Structure 1
Amino acid sequence: MGVVSAMIAAVLTAGALAAPAAPAAVPDFSTAEAGNPFVDGWYADPDVAVYEGRYWVFPTSSRPYNEQTYLDAFSSTDLVHWTKHPNVLTVANVSWARRAVWAPAPVQRNGKYYLYFGANDIQSNSELGGIGVAVADRPEGPYVDAIGAPLIGQFVNGAQPIDQDVFVDDDGQAYLYYGGWQHANVVKLNSDMTSLGRFADGSTYKEITPANYTEGSQVFKRNGKYYLMWSEGYWGGSDYSVSYAMADSPTGPFTKIAKILTQDSEVAKGSGHNAVLNVPGTDIWYIVYHRRPLSETDANHRQLAYDRMSFNADGTIRPVTMKVRDNFEDGNAYGWKAYGSTWSATDGTYRATASPGGKSLQDTNFATLTYDADVTITAGTGDAGVIFRATQPATGTDAYRGYYAGLTTTGRVILGKADNNWRQLATAAFPVTRGTRYHLRIEATGTTIKVYADSTLKLTVTDSTFTTGATGVRVFNTAAAFDNIAID
């Protein structure tokens, strides 16, 4: 986000921001390599900061409005292993807030940690609520209301006072960007971070609404250019998405350039309300956002994800691709759903006990795909491998509709399809030793399916039974470990 990038270059003067200490290892990933969602639970509207060598994510708790009375946070030194910090802010510490606590925006200054938040979801200027500011002595809080009232508690220029973001420019001037109801404003923050300043023309609020703006402002700076990002569409719908504009000034004018993050019918829907994370001292950038799993219909069932964000030579942002990866280095299997067997993320792998057909699936819906996975049979006399284009999963030996490719303890690579029964499509010799890791690759394009084992093409089949569906892993009368899942 803007806070992070600005802190890197901040002038280290009294009262100004100190440059954040870089974490020991620089995370240079194509996406969340250990899997999206990267934390457990229903969360939305993330914002980020880097404090003393730790990455921090502050999201909204994605629940019904009356239950949104608290904020949690997550921290990590490597963007892989995350620690949850519950209840960093609650309405018990904000006298005027009672519900709809949204979109926290963190910043460090004056030896304190500030957290800006929306509360009460006001619909008119006759209601109490809007954007507040809380302060703490530690990044994890507890944060306490700093001024006893909303910092911005009125509609100005048609902008609902929600979805705030704080950006601190290289000269130390802090700005707060906010707005819902298709209008966006920017205000200056005084050095105390708890009061509003004025622009040179004497005004307090400047409208900066770009085309198709809905909500979720986010500002950062790179190579002298200012970027304004925002969300379009309905937050509870599949059309939620992220667009951006560029400007030469922190107050614009901001002219829309492009939409860069949208739903992906193969991966997730409702992707939006993003933050931007710059790894200190590098040109490595990530977009942190929320999205809804494909099979979820509850609007509040949103999860946190991040993917790599890249730039063209002219500074424009390339469209963001939601990648499907999981190397299980974080010790969890968030986003997977098991049917039979006992599954655990242990020692950087995803392990299943032996069972007659235990499987675990991701909430994906791929048609054309390249599916890579490492497979290790650890015990038993059956087989283990990957499922793709799968639907209607249930507990049972062949209780799904889809394809399966695996390795057998009898020294074969097999490909078949299930529909509450099993039909083998092809097989070939491939020596398999228990305890040895092998690499499977599936290439499925239209009716053509190719299976590679350790980079060697072993099977090619033409079959049109199943055209799209979920990806997963499976065991049959073996215990096995899976790793380095990647689907493109």
Structure 2
Amino acid sequence: MALANNTDTTDDYPQQPAVVNYTTSEAGNPFVDGWYADPDTAIYQGRYWVFPTSSYVYEEQTYLDAFSSLDLIDWIKHPNILTTKDVTWAKKAVWAPAPAFRDGKYYIYFGANDIQEGEPEQGFIGGIGVAVADQPQGPYVDAIGKPLIGTYNNSAQPIDQDVFIDDDGQAYIYYGGHSHANVAKLKEDMISLDTFEDGTTFKEITPKDYVEGPQMLKRNGKYYLMWSEGGWTGPDYRVSYAVADSPLGPFLGVTGTRILQQDSAVAKGSGHNGVIHVPGTDIYYIVYHRRPLSENAGEHRVLCYDRMYFNEDGSIKPVKMLVKDSFTDGDMVGWKTYPEGSEAEGAHVVDNKLEVKSRSMSGTIVALDTNFTDQTYEATVILSNSSADVGTSAGLIFGATNIASGPYKTNGYYAGLSAAGRVLVTNLGDGTSVLVEGVDIKPDIEHHVRVSAIGANISVFVNDFTSPVLALDSSTHAAGTNGVAAFNMTARFGNVSIAEAS
């Protein structure tokens, strides 16, 4: 949707949110905890809002939550803004909410019951509903007591709606599953459909390879229709777009340009997006769901956002899923502690740092669900233990496999720092280490660490990123997980960043 046209103009609240200029979610993706999918966005009361599906099996998708933030880092959860108890005809599931605002009222358009072709004729009720509230966090109540769109038109399943209000005030609803997409006009009351000049209510706009999840964006007078392709449970789920001079297209049969797809180092199944446009700027973020690499359940999806850039000709550049975590949100969402079950004493966020504790030489590892090979991996680390024991250290894990079995059974590499002035790289598979001494490493001081692992070459930089303090060749360096670790000490990590090296 065009966020500038979906902005709450209530006089009691600030109208413009803070200008946030990031390359990705600075405090980590997923940016909120829990299984969520199909996000859409709005700007209400000077805050950024995200409205997602609660991603569970259909029988458990009985409610919708929302999230709001002033800075896209610290998010407030607003639970149960709409439940099936508020919609008398919604019996099976509600999902893919689309927000809109007009004349002091907040609207949520949602899919319910997952009706199939032929079922409406048999008396089954389902499709796209609309609910209304007096505030963005609800509670929302069913506005019309029945689906707004409850039948198949042009073979489009009535799901996955997006509402777009153009600069002239005309509201449109884009929707469609089962590989067909329609657009219809909404009347000014936002709860009933209007007709086009030719007397029709629905116009088919299905682009080539369209599956579901349409999203409309207007920029510099051009209309960008975005949609999802592939299977929603598979790794090929992805986002494409096409541009037109009108909100009606032409999009029918148009071949789109793919801009977001799985990255085997970061995540799979990335799609069904919304867009955040920071008002008064050319800063855009694509908000979408994806599936962590180690998750295979179809419903296990998480919310993420990355920067979306435009070329000079108005085309959208392919989106790169970046990996960062500043821990400034106070959370370690997306990180897992090993050995499993040691989270209580093993790791938590303190003062915007990931504090990792280990009381023995067996160590504690806290890892992301990544699979990088050639990479540049950076973080800050503060050592709080000044022991001169070479086995007492903290640092970065990379290229790791079998990590759930614990440090002694993990394969991969560890680049560690010791407060005694030692830097080492350990092959976790065979236990061999390369060590240098005399490095200026002190406890209770933040040190910047970078690991460059490209091909067989592994280089470790500390504070000065121009010359490595340690470099070696390893023929066993391969793809694997990234993490941080502490051995018989406490360490605090910050500003983690991992990028594919070329």
* TM value normalised by structure 2: 0.93
Distance 2:247 2:93 in 1: 29
- Residue type at the aligned position of 1:276: V
Q: CA deviation at 1:410?
A: 1.3
Distance 1:268 1:427 in 2: 36
The residue that corresponds to 1:449 in the other structure is 458
1:249 aligns with 2:246: yes
The residue that corresponds to 1:343 in the other structure is 347
1:360 aligns with 2:366: yes
- Residue type at the aligned position of 1:197: D
* CA deviation map 1:318-367 (0-9, x unaligned): 00000000000000011001014521112111001233311101000001
Q: CA deviation at 1:427?
A: 2.5
User: Is the 1:7–1:19 Cα contact (8 Å) retained in structure 2?
Assistant: no
1:187 to 184, 209, 212: 184
Partner SS, residue 5 of structure 1: helix
2:377 to 353, 366, 371: 371
Percent identity between the two aligned chains: 56
* CA deviation map 1:193-212 (0-9, x unaligned): 00001111111110000110
- Residue type at the aligned position of 2:134: D
User: Is the 1:20–1:280 Cα contact (8 Å) retained in structure 2?
Assistant: no
1:401 aligns with 2:394: no
Partner SS, residue 59 of structure 2: helix
- Residue type at the aligned position of 2:204: E
The residue that corresponds to 1:95 in the other structure is 88
User: Is the 1:6–1:220 Cα contact (8 Å) retained in structure 2?
Assistant: no
The residue that corresponds to 2:342 in the other structure is none
User: Is the 2:63–2:82 Cα contact (8 Å) retained in structure 1?
Assistant: yes
User: Is the 1:17–1:108 Cα contact (8 Å) retained in structure 2?
Assistant: no
The residue that corresponds to 1:141 in the other structure is 138
User: Is the 2:207–2:256 Cα contact (8 Å) retained in structure 1?
Assistant: no
Task: In structure 1, list runs of 5 or more residues that go unmatched.
Answer: none
- Residue type at the aligned position of 2:317: R
Distance 1:100 1:207 in 2: 26
- Residue type at the aligned position of 2:226: M
User: Is the 2:208–2:256 Cα contact (8 Å) retained in structure 1?
Assistant: no
RMSD: 1.7
The residue that corresponds to 2:67 in the other structure is 74
Partner SS, residue 480 of structure 1: strand
Give the direction of change, closer, same or farther, for the CA distance of 1:17–1:121 in structure 2 (3 Å limit). Answer: farther
Partner SS, residue 300 of structure 1: coil
After the TM superposition, which residues 220-369 of structure 1 pair with which residues of structure 2 at under 5 Å, given as runs? Answer: 220-254=217-251, 255-340=254-339, 342-355=346-359, 356=361, 357-369=363-375
Q: CA deviation at 1:432?
A: 1.4
- Residue type at the aligned position of 1:226: Y
Distance 1:427 1:474 in 2: 19
2:149 to 152, 158, 174: 152
Q: Which deviates more, 32-41 or 400-409?
A: 400-409
* CA deviation map 1:42-99 (0-9, x unaligned): 0000000000101111100110011111101111111000011110000101010012
The residue that corresponds to 1:62 in the other structure is 55
2:76 to 53, 58, 83: 83
Partner SS, residue 402 of structure 1: strand
User: Is the 1:380–1:478 Cα contact (8 Å) retained in structure 2?
Assistant: no
* TM value normalised by structure 1: 0.96
User: Is the 2:6–2:42 Cα contact (8 Å) retained in structure 1?
Assistant: no
1:132 aligns with 2:138: no
User: Is the 1:245–1:257 Cα contact (8 Å) retained in structure 2?
Assistant: yes
Distance 2:199 2:148 in 1: 18
Q: CA deviation at 1:102?
A: 1.2
Q: Which deviates more, 92-101 or 377-386?
A: 377-386
The residue that corresponds to 1:465 in the other structure is 476
Q: CA deviation at 1:19?
A: 11
Distance 1:136 1:20 in 2: 20
Distance 2:110 2:349 in 1: 35
Distance 1:266 1:138 in 2: 40
1:208 to 198, 205, 209: 205
Distance 2:165 2:210 in 1: 22
Distance 2:386 2:173 in 1: 60
Which has more strand, going by share of residues?
1
- Residue type at the aligned position of 2:92: R
Partner SS, residue 288 of structure 1: strand
Give the direction of change, closer, same or farther, for the CA distance of 1:397–1:266 in structure 2 (3 Å limit). Answer: closer
The residue that corresponds to 1:37 in the other structure is 30
Partner SS, residue 457 of structure 1: coil
Distance 2:400 2:346 in 1: 20
The size of the alignment, in residue pairs, is: 480
